[in-house]
Structure 1
Amino acid sequence: MARTPVAARRAGLLAAAMRVVAERGLAAASTRAIVAEAGMSLASFHYAFDSRDELLDELIAEVISREETAVLPQELAGRPMQELIEAGLTGYFEHLRSAPEYEQAMLELTQFAVRTRPEMAREQYAQYARIAEASLELAAAHSGTRWSLPLPTVARMLVAFTDGLTLAWLVDRDDEAAATLIRSAARALASLTEPA
């Protein structure tokens, strides 16, 4: 029988871990539960990952990568800043709506990290800040503006808006309220720019 490549095992275990966390919560995501969900043996897990913590780190990185793809508007040139921010937040929101269980799992993973592995939580939010800064810098370049506050400050505000949007929508599933928040956040952030 052919051996499954390590990359394929890792991908299968990551997908299984996300399903377990999303459906049953992080507390239920033991190594045994993950391998059972993946249809693999415990030996396969240890062949692919050194520990459950390594798998969780990889899982967070994978979800962040998906989010980064979702927030970049398709058309940038010539659009005003408010429109670019609104398009980016709307892209993220559509990503959230398409797989809410992933974002719910990410919130749970963040809370777990804050309590047990603060360095993991700091790295997660450093990645969010990196994505926000790159997106805001790109938006400024394409809209002919510059930020009136330091870019890291504006990026932190964008991350805070996104966190609030995520949690509020997961609680009430109110698409209209989310759209209103997105428009308001875009207007507020765009007001922090001036002509370049």
Structure 2
Amino acid sequence: MAYIRAADRQEQIVAATIRVLEAGGVSGTTMRAVAAEAGMPLGTLHYTFPSRDELLRTVITRVVDDTSAALREALDLEQGVEHALRQGVRTFWDRLLDGGTGVQVMQYELAMYSARSDAGGLARLEFARYTDLLTELCSEAAAFAGEECAVPPDVLARLVLGVVDGLVLQHIANPDLARSERDLAHALDMLVALAAPRRR
């Protein structure tokens, strides 16, 4: 068997886990299923990730990090908070539509699984990382543009996350692209009005 660097092996396992989660949900995501999808012995998987919880935490971190990289690439934070809100949400939404809703459904399922099985640990991790990311982006955009908002960045971040998650769930449950796009435009107007960014 060819040598695989530890970082590459971990990446291979995380990618396989995401595929298994998308196909079979949390209940179907066993260590054995992930090892088979990754094409490696079960012992190798257990050596890299001793527990399924540790593996799922790594998956959540990877998905949020991927989202963070895409948002940072799309945003020109010097254009201020309104740009960050509109372009950031639009980038996330377009990625969702282009890539399908499987990863988003996986995240919701992991959050609900977490609420029932591990006292919410995975769900807290997921939402804390997203909230931290959005708080950082809003804070950086405000600082670059010399702006201040009517609400604190962490409050704005939680509300953005709540509104977007709600729209995504509605789109998953009842796909209607035209309706979803209209609702997204109204939601962005509402969030920008709430933030009310102004020059210091």
Looking at structure 1, the residues matched to 95 and 7 of structure 2 have their Cα atoms a distance apart, in angstroms, of 25
**Residue in structure 2 matched with residue 178 of structure 1 by the alignment:** 180
User: What is residue 138 of structure 2 aligned with on the other side?
Assistant: 136
Q: How many residues align?
A: 195
Q: Is the 8 A contact 2:35 2:42 kept in 1?
A: yes
3-state secondary structure, aligned to 1:26: coil
TM-score by length of 1: 0.90
Q: Would the alpha carbon gap of residues 81 and 178 (structure 1) be closer, same or farther in structure 2, given more than 3 Å must change? A: farther
Match of 1:189 in 2: 191
Structure 2 partner of 1:115 = 116
Query: Partners in 1 of 2:129 and 2:81 — Cα distance?
Result: 23
Contact 1:82–1:187 (8 Å) recurs in 2? no
The alignment partner of 2:151 has SS state of coil
Task: Give, in whole Å, the separation in 2 of the partners of 1:40 and 1:32.
Answer: 10
- Alignment identity in percent? 27
Query: Residues 86 and 182 of structure 1 are in contact (CA less than 8 Å); yes or no, is this contact kept in structure 2?
Result: no
Which residue is 2:48 aligned to? 48
Unaligned residue ranges in structure 1 (runs of 5+): none
Contact 2:131 2:154 in 1 (8 A): yes
Q: In structure 2, what is the Cα distance between the partners aligned to 1:88 and 1:82?
A: 10
Task: Give the structure-2-normalised TM-score.
Answer: 0.88
Q: How far off is 1:66 after superposition?
A: 1.1
CA RMSD for the aligned pairs? 1.8
Matched to 2:36, the amino acid is A
Distance in 1 of aligned mates of 2:10 and 2:192: 41
Q: Following the alignment from structure 1 to structure 2, what is the Cα–Cα distance between the partners of residues 63 and 52?
A: 17
In the alignment, residue 160 of structure 2 is paired with which amino acid? L
Taking the aligned partners of 2:83 and 2:177, their CA distance within structure 1 comes to: 19
* 1:13–1:35 Cα contact (<8 Å) kept: yes
Contact 1:6-1:47 within 8 A present in 2 as well: no
Three-state SS of the structure 2 residue aligned to 1:28 is coil
Whichever residue aligns with residue 178 of structure 1, its letter is: S
Q: Alpha-carbon deviations, 1:154-185, whole Å to 9, x = none? A: 11101101211221222223232232233222
Query: Structure 2: 5+ residue runs without aligned partners?
Result: none
Q: Is the 8 A contact 1:86 1:186 kept in 2?
A: yes
Q: Are 2:21 and 1:15 aligned? A: no
